[in-house]
Amino acid sequence: MTTDRIVDANGILLALVVTDRPPAATERFGIEFLTGPEHVLQVGVMRRPEGYVIQPHVHLPVLRESVGTPEVLFIRQGRVSVDFYDAYQVKVWSMVVEAGDVLILLAGGHGFTMLTEAVIEEVKVGPHLGDADKVKF
């Protein structure tokens, strides 16, 4: 598993891009969090041996506060060109992602061009407000 860190000129972590070719979990058993405890999204990769049991549980109703709309995108099919922007809408990085890659978008802006037909699964903090929670540029 390879993780690229996309950082803007002010040292702000904009995104993490996780690439697996071929897709695989971590090399050691356990759970590895890709985002730090300071991020509103905690994204991890878990590898467990056959027969391992995760005890049934419920999560406590802890009040959490978030600002912005961090997202996780799972590229299931296709190739996509991604542009990353800082908070001032200045492009700081571009790259191509493909099936099996995961984008963890934490700050700044982003834009996408489908290079082939693509299937992307998206997880974000809700509720989803459509165009009411974004500025297009």
Give, for all 137 residues of the chain, the pLDDT tens digit.
677 788 887 888 899 898 865 445 567 788 888 888 888 888 888 889 999 999 999 999 999 888 888 999 999 999 999 999 999 999 999 999 999 999 999 999 999 999 999 999 999 888 878 888 889 99
CB 96 within 8 A of CB 82: yes
Per-domain boundaries in the chain: 2-47+64-125
Backbone φ and ψ of 34, nearest 5°: -85, -30
Query: Check: CATH 1.20.120 for 2-47+64-125?
Result: no
* Alpha-helix runs per DSSP H in 2-90: none
Cα(22)–Cα(24) distance, integer angstroms: 6
